[in-house]
Structure 1
Amino acid sequence: MSRVRGIGAALPERVVTNHDLEAIVDTTDEWIVGRTGIRERHIAGDGEFTSHLAERAARKALASAGCEPCEIDLIIVATATPDHTFPATAVVVQDLLGITGGVAFDVGAACSGFVFAMATADALISVGSARRALVIGAETFSRILDWDDRTTCVLFGDGAGAVVLESTADGADAGASKPRGVIAHAMRSDGSHRDKLYVDGGPSTTQTSGFLRMRGQEVFRFAVQATVDVVEDVFTRAGMTADDIDWFVPHQANKRIIDASARKLGIASEKVVLTVAEHGNTSAASIPLALDRAVSDGRIKQGDIVLLEALGGGFTWGAAIVRW
């Protein structure tokens, strides 16, 4: 079992509002807010890569944890927008942090990537393959957007978030009756839906990076159903119900999806952490960015039960329950 020891986040300086987008694409602030809840997003600057955002978030997480980079023996970066086809962005971050030991790799599960990466790190820590991990969600989705497609370019933003996970055996509360840590996780994939949310390029198919494409209404319908399915599964695995949850931190894709999912799950709106209005959909970065916000402003406190959930292209979807 592993627990969260520290958390950090990084956002590009440039903020693009809905009103800014009105000048470059046929859309309106009213249309975007009404359908998504998004009001603005951060966009990476020239020469600002996914690895740069990931490094900044990682350093903040390390500072929060009171750890030095040399204490990390596992780095997992969840991203759909890596710096390069290879090497993995995780090894770039490893080098930027001055770490020369351990293992580093990327997880590609689109918007579900952070949940998948946390589950992977927790499993590796639990079997003794690692003691302390950096789990990072980092994206520069602005690089794969078609800025002439008003249905997709208004939805996404850039950013990164990171947590330090460590073995509960190393924690001060290791003997507690209710130790902090990752309590349960559940993951799903179904490739038959891959044409509903995808990028229309790739090294093997088109030798290009391509652009993001989405069939929005179909994604919306599936997302609510899938969220309820995987969250009910993780409740069963944890022996919990919605009443046990202190905070729900979902993937920040669309406020209407979040609201509908929370209603179906019986989670009160005041327990839902929302950052979609300020960040847009930052894919794998959205959950750790929202977590960092809620921890920084004092909402999420030590001992709270936190539910994480996400759905991404593939489709992939997953959930995790953590005692903070």
Structure 2
Amino acid sequence: MLQSSGVAVTGVGHKLGSLVEDNETLCRNLDITPEWIIEKTGIERRYLAAPDETASGLSLAAARDAMASAGIDASQIDLIVCCTFSADYRFPALASKIHLDLGVKGGQMMDVQANCAGFVTGLTVASDRMRLDPELRNALVIGVELNSRFISRSNADAAIYHSDGAGAVVLSRIPDAGIVSSAFHTDSSNYEAVRVRGGGSTFTRPDRAFDPAIDTMELNGIATWKQAITHLPTVIRRASEKAGLNYREADFFVFHQANLRLIEYLVRKMGGDMSKTYTNVGRIGNTGAASTAIALSEAVERGRLKAGDVVIFAAVGAGFSFGASVWRWADVKAVNSDPDWVA
């Protein structure tokens, strides 16, 4: 049996932007067809935030669902980790806003910026903190993006992929379950391939006009594809080896939902089949750091994971950062219905 850490997922939740944009609508401003988008990406539509929606608002909704799923309240949360590159403000941290809005008292909060690999990174950060500090009872880990605020709808390279949404999990202490191992890798050779330069200290906005070349997302899809197919299988293998496992023995995979064709290619390259994973990118688009969390939440809702399953999370983020972690899945429903279990 895998040597599980005892820090496990006990609750999940998610929230999507309230506006739906299908390919036909998007292509009115682009020199491409809906069929081309599906052929290249598998994406049929995207969920975009309404003007009054915020990263903190979507995060709060996802967090409350995850807490209800875990059967805990704000008084039982000791750590909040928000994973995002599109927070409400440059600072303070989005996690502080969630701390305020939930009514959490004390504890620790932080934001993690690893682009689309953020949620997988944040899970490891939070679980490592819990393993080192026995006083931490429960952690709330949130992935959230409002990508649409940084994307021109006339830029096909970026607009065809990205969506808005949030996903959240609660981590708690469960015997014989939870995270087993993780592995990370960085290849910065394509640092400039996916970027938003505006708003950083090099390209601040106070003394200049809005410039779409700087203030919206620039994306090199070919570079991203090459990075992902080169390094994502490697970190999956490394995380599996640390767990004493051949990755092919895993019961289920949850990937960053960047591109359906990319996921299909990776699964084939690794000798697997799509029955051992769950995808929603075709239906909701790429929600950045939120995508792995949202895919996990939907997979749990649909009964795709069962107690004892070996689950591997894997993601790639701009920069480029790669992360994977191996988990022994807990029987969440049984745990949360046990009157003797105390979070």
Paired AA for residue 184 in structure 1 = S
Q: Give CA deviations for 1:256-302 in whole Å, capped at 9, x if unaligned.
A: 21111111222222112111111111010000100111110111122
For residue 100 of structure 1, report the CA deviation from its aligned partner: 2.4
How do 1:64-143 residues align onto structure 2 when only pairs under 5 Å count? 64-128=69-133, 130-143=136-149
Q: How many residues align?
A: 315
Q: 2:323 aligns with which of 308, 312, 318?
A: 318
How do 1:134-213 residues align onto structure 2 when only pairs under 5 Å count? 134-167=140-173, 171=174, 174=175, 179-208=176-205, 210-213=215-218
Secondary structure in 2 aligned to 1:200?
coil
Q: Answer yes or no: is 1:22 the counterpart of 2:19.
A: no
1:116 and 1:318 in contact (8 A); partners too: yes
Q: In structure 1, what is the Cα distance between the partners aligned to 2:282 and 2:260? A: 8
Q: Give CA deviations for 1:55-93 in whole Å, capped at 9, x if unaligned.
A: 000000000000011100000000010100001011001
Q: Answer yes or no: is 1:299 the counterpart of 2:304.
A: yes
For residue 221 of structure 1, report the CA deviation from its aligned partner: 1.2
How do 1:37-48 residues align onto structure 2 when only pairs under 5 Å count? 37-48=42-53
1:21 and 1:27 in contact (8 A); partners too: no
The gaps in structure 1 that reach 5 residues or longer are none
Paired AA for residue 144 in structure 2 = A
Q: In structure 1, what is the Cα distance between the partners aligned to 2:169 and 2:56? A: 15
Paired AA for residue 27 in structure 1 = I
Secondary structure in 1 aligned to 2:109?
strand
Q: 2:234 aligns with which of 229, 244, 252?
A: 229
2:251 and 2:310 in contact (8 A); partners too: yes
Q: 1:251 aligns with which of 253, 256, 272?
A: 256
For residue 321 of structure 1, report the CA deviation from its aligned partner: 1.1
Q: Give CA deviations for 1:84-142 in whole Å, capped at 9, x if unaligned.
A: 00010110011110112111110000000001100100110000162210000011000
Paired AA for residue 232 in structure 1 = R
Please name the residue that 2:335 is paired with: none
The gaps in structure 2 that reach 5 residues or longer are 206-213, 330-343
Please name the residue that 1:280 is paired with: 285
Secondary structure in 2 aligned to 1:152?
helix
For residue 200 of structure 1, report the CA deviation from its aligned partner: 2.5
For residue 190 of structure 1, report the CA deviation from its aligned partner: 2.9
Paired AA for residue 35 in structure 1 = K
TM-score of the aligned structures, taking structure 2 as reference length: 0.89
Please name the residue that 1:61 is paired with: 66
Secondary structure in 1 aligned to 2:153?
coil
Q: 1:271 aligns with which of 272, 276, 281?
A: 276
Q: In structure 2, what is the Cα distance between the partners aligned to 1:237 and 1:267? A: 20
Q: In structure 2, what is the Cα distance between the partners aligned to 1:265 and 1:202? A: 39
Q: In structure 1, what is the Cα distance between the partners aligned to 2:91 and 2:14? A: 24
TM-score of the aligned structures, taking structure 1 as reference length: 0.94
Q: Where do 4+ consecutive residues of structure 1 move more than 3 Å?
A: none
Q: In structure 2, what is the Cα distance between the partners aligned to 1:293 and 1:73? A: 25
Secondary structure in 1 aligned to 2:264?
helix
Q: In structure 2, what is the Cα distance between the partners aligned to 1:85 and 1:223? A: 28
CA RMSD of aligned residues (A): 1.2
Please name the residue that 2:40 is paired with: 35
Paired AA for residue 235 in structure 2 = V
2:236 and 2:247 in contact (8 A); partners too: no
Please name the residue that 2:333 is paired with: none
Q: In structure 1, what is the Cα distance between the partners aligned to 2:225 and 2:73? A: 42
- Percent identity, aligned pairs only, is 38
Q: In structure 2, what is the Cα distance between the partners aligned to 1:66 and 1:127? A: 24
